[in-house]
Structure 1
Amino acid sequence: MQTTLADFIKDTEQGKIAESILRKCVHCGFCTATCPTYQLLQDELDGPRGRIYQIKQVLEGTPATPTVQMHLDRCLTCRSCETTCPSGVEYGKLIEIGREVVDKQLPRTGADKFKRQALFKLTTSPKLFHSAYTMGQSVRGFLPKKLQSKVLAQKPLKAVPTQTHTRKMLMLEGCVQPSMSPNINHATLRVLDKLGLELLRPSSAGCCGAIHLHNQMHDDGLNDMRRNIDAWWPAIEAGAEAILINASGCGSTVKEYGFHLQSDARYAAKAQRVSELAKDIVEVLIGETERLQTLFTQAPTQQTLAYHPPCSLQHGQKLGGKVESLLAGLGFPVLLPKDSHLCCGSAGTYSFLQPELSERLRQNKVNNLEALKPQAVLSGNIGCIAHIGSGTDIPVMHWIEYLDQQLGG
């Protein structure tokens, strides 16, 4: 696609990236077939091809309008279009640039601005979120139904191992996961401990940067990344094998630290090293498959299991099929629902900012999962787990929790 960027952006780093991406797009339209919002709304402007065209117009100097902002807001950033695109268009990077430019031209105001600022502050402040969330859990039964669906019921906490091991990896604990579902991290610690791996969790690490980055708070997102690099670097220098991440949404972002900080002279090399070390938990366990198999000394529990592959894993990290393969090799085959490539509607903060579309996508996903008649639904991202779980009575959990249960955890 030919582009003629406006003077305000053409010679900037963002402009060069955007132009390179735009020139790859041939407007073939394959992406519309796998775009969740296009499937719901059947509006060209709510599909990747239409959004790319709108971004192109703004970057070429056409003033942004509230309508353009609305269509960009409706994007889940699920990146399903990237998996489909035959030309390799990096749509996720382009829409971040487009949204930032549009929001600079049309700053948020009033209730919309307040809601966004409050949401971002809450979700990126673990202590504040923990206080608010545990309070919500204590009065969960009295909350309105819609709000109640956002709060997971409390579960008994399981012990975490205290042994040290020669082999060490870092683990990103996440912003909301330790409060919403702490047993995901605890199960991860227990399974890895059985494999002789110690997981290090520096207290100074925090949000991966995704929440700020995907909501046009670019500088705040970069600062999140720098803080984490500083927190992890001593362990990396000491020989930590990997940075294990059990929330695929976070993993997609950490794997792109090298891209986001490439122009930062102080952090570029470190960021690239962090991206190289970042591994989704499935990548770590695939490398330990033989040892993991020896831990299962009894016949697997015979259950019908459904699996929802998070968008951030199958489209963002390009690891589609890996969890299914691992689980099947361990004796726990899973069933995929119809349209397993489509987003469940969680998408980070999307379920709060676009509740109507989010709920429609969730209902479609729940219908397809329930059609499999599973005893449990497994996934690999806390947002998906909470969102899907709020729409069904079938237990929904992280697949590492299920493995931990089968190992007697």
Structure 2
Amino acid sequence: MQTSFSPEQLKDPDTRESNAILRTCVHCGFCTATCPTFVLLGDELDSPRGRIYLIKDMLEGGKPATPQVVQHVDRCLSCLSCMTTCPSGVHYMHLVDHARAYIEQTYTRPWPERMLRRALGMLLPYPGRFRLALRAAMLARPLRGLLPGESMLAQRLRAMLSLAPAALPDAGHPPAPKVHRAEGTRRGRVALLTGCAQTVLAPSINEATIRLLTRMGVEVVVAEGQGCCGALNHHMGQHDPAMALAGANIDAWTREMAGEGLDAIVVNASGCGTTVKDYGFMFRETPRAAQAAAVAGLARDVSEVLLQFGYEPTREAPGITVAYHAACSLQHGQKITGVPKQLLARAGFTLREPAETHLCCGSAGTYNLMQPAIAGQLRERKLENLRRTGASVVASGNIGCLTQLGGADGMPVVHTVELLDWMAGGPRPKALSMLPEQKNVQTVVT
């Protein structure tokens, strides 16, 4: 693709990077076949190729974002399926992230939307605030049917109330800074990103991760000062809050690296993992550039670390069939596809894969809150494909998928690491409590 940015515009590092990305696009359109919004809506402007044209025009002209550009960029899930499909290596993720930040700088949204986005950015990354917000949503949940009209605001409020859980786990707080000692001889030392929303919605995921790794001889550090990875703010174009959160993590893990050292930084929410692995790019023009690159180089999905340290089950195969669906951020963002399936098979599960594994479930960070109609269609499409496997349990390597797909048809959802921990001596996941204890119970993992 030809571009015509001025020398003055190219002095900006983000514009310079976007220019390089735009020039790699050859207009082939392969991305349209795997883009969830184009598959649903059939609008060229709701495909990666269409959005690339809109972003190019906006950035080249140096003009404020228009309502049309905002509408179509906002509809992008950042599932990154297009990057898996693209034969030219277009780094769409960095381009759309730049576009979102540019939109936030140049476009004034209607005040209800501004307030909503600001509230999400100030609540979701902070477990204490998020827990209080969920308690309020749980109290208001019975009123969601009374919200009038089909305006976008009404749809979003209904979506927020519908996604609020009926109850919160008792231990829904981040693990305190601590060193969890390895059992037996120490074989490795890792830091764990405990995250934000996941610690409130499903603290059992971090618990299973710590339990499983320490049992395998890996010391797990919950570093002082680490927290939200910054992804939620980053994908809403809230640049400064995202960089502040990411910077705190970089500082926390750099201290550990300079101390006793780290073999890996473990991330058990794949959406967070994609962002942490991108810290080097995000901080490339800052004084933290070298530290950020070192942190990004150590970041690993929990499945990668389990494979590295030789995960082995200690229990007899459970006779459970698992239909595995990779979260978009895992298969497209991190290019990890085979490792979780390999571990599940090693643990004794029989694997099944649903159709359309490349399509997003509609969670995508805050997408299911901000674009509830499209997210709802994607959710039903994903659930239908999962139902066709004949399985009875859904699991995921990402808290967003678990939340999006949970509560449908009575199918429990389980994180992959909880299943692996169970088969290596940990407790049976609570999500499986509705299933009979005997063998030959069918299970689905997404």
TM-score of the superposed pair, with normalisation by structure 2: 0.85
Most deviating of 87-96 and 139-148: 139-148
CA contact (8 A) 1:345 1:351 kept: yes
CA contact (8 A) 2:191 2:264 kept: yes
| Mapped partners of 2:227, 2:293: distance in 1 | 19
Residue 195 (structure 1) aligned to one of 216, 223, 226:
216
**DSSP 3-state at the match of 1:405:** helix
| 1:144-166 residue CA offsets vs partner (Å, 9 max, x unmatched) | 475243326445769x9986234
Instruction: Tell me the residue number matched to 2:20.
Output: 20
How far did residue 367 of structure 1 move? Answer: 0.6
How far did residue 135 of structure 1 move? Answer: 5.5
CA contact (8 A) 1:213 1:221 kept: yes
How far did residue 216 of structure 1 move? Answer: 1.0
Q: Letter of the aligned partner of 1:276 in structure 2?
A: G
Matches within 5 A, 1:169-188: 169-188=190-209
1:243 aligns with 2:244: no
Aligned residue pairs total 402
| Mapped partners of 2:218, 2:137: distance in 1 | 35
**DSSP 3-state at the match of 2:374:** helix
Matches within 5 A, 1:9-408: 9-61=9-61, 63=63, 64-134=65-135, 136=137, 139=139, 142=142, 144=144, 146=158, 147-151=161-165, 153-154=167-168, 164-165=181-182, 166=186, 167-237=188-258, 238-265=260-287, 267-289=288-310, 292-293=311-312, 295-296=313-314, 298-406=315-423, 407-408=425-426
| Mapped partners of 1:76, 1:152: distance in 2 | 26
Change (3 A) 1:274 1:28: same
**DSSP 3-state at the match of 1:60:** helix
Change (3 A) 1:140 1:236: farther
| 1:56-78 residue CA offsets vs partner (Å, 9 max, x unmatched) | 11112174320111000000011
CA contact (8 A) 2:34 2:359 kept: yes
Task: Give the percent of matched residue pairs that are identical in Structure 1 and Structure 2.
Answer: 43
How far did residue 2 of structure 1 move? Answer: 0.5
| 1:103-125 residue CA offsets vs partner (Å, 9 max, x unmatched) | 32212231010010011111012
| Mapped partners of 1:47, 1:284: distance in 2 | 35
| Mapped partners of 1:393, 1:210: distance in 2 | 30
**DSSP 3-state at the match of 2:219:** strand
| 1:4-59 residue CA offsets vs partner (Å, 9 max, x unmatched) | 12577332101110110000000100000000000000000000000001111111
Change (3 A) 1:140 1:116: closer
Q: Letter of the aligned partner of 1:183 in structure 2?
A: S
Q: Letter of the aligned partner of 2:134 in structure 1?
A: Y
**DSSP 3-state at the match of 1:397:** strand
| Mapped partners of 2:99, 2:110: distance in 1 | 19
**DSSP 3-state at the match of 1:402:** helix
TM-score of the superposed pair, with normalisation by structure 1: 0.93
How far did residue 141 of structure 1 move? Answer: 7.6
Q: Letter of the aligned partner of 2:305 in structure 1?
A: V
| Mapped partners of 2:85, 2:107: distance in 1 | 31
| Mapped partners of 1:278, 1:380: distance in 2 | 15
Q: Letter of the aligned partner of 1:112 in structure 2?
A: E
| 1:58-100 residue CA offsets vs partner (Å, 9 max, x unmatched) | 1121743201110000000110000000000000100111222
| Mapped partners of 1:226, 1:144: distance in 2 | 38
Q: Letter of the aligned partner of 2:249 in structure 1?
A: N
How far did residue 174 of structure 1 move? Answer: 0.6
CA contact (8 A) 2:367 2:375 kept: yes
| 1:170-223 residue CA offsets vs partner (Å, 9 max, x unmatched) | 000011101100101111111112101121112411111111211111122122
CA contact (8 A) 2:191 2:221 kept: yes
| Mapped partners of 2:167, 2:320: distance in 1 | 24
**DSSP 3-state at the match of 1:324:** helix
**DSSP 3-state at the match of 2:61:** coil
Unaligned runs of 5+ in 1: none
CA contact (8 A) 1:377 1:395 kept: yes
Change (3 A) 1:85 1:102: same
Q: Letter of the aligned partner of 1:36 in structure 2?
A: P
CA contact (8 A) 2:168 2:200 kept: no
| Mapped partners of 1:152, 1:185: distance in 2 | 21
| Mapped partners of 2:170, 2:104: distance in 1 | 43
| Mapped partners of 2:121, 2:376: distance in 1 | 21
| Mapped partners of 1:72, 1:174: distance in 2 | 26
Most deviating of 6-15 and 368-377: 6-15
**DSSP 3-state at the match of 2:357:** coil
Change (3 A) 1:234 1:101: closer
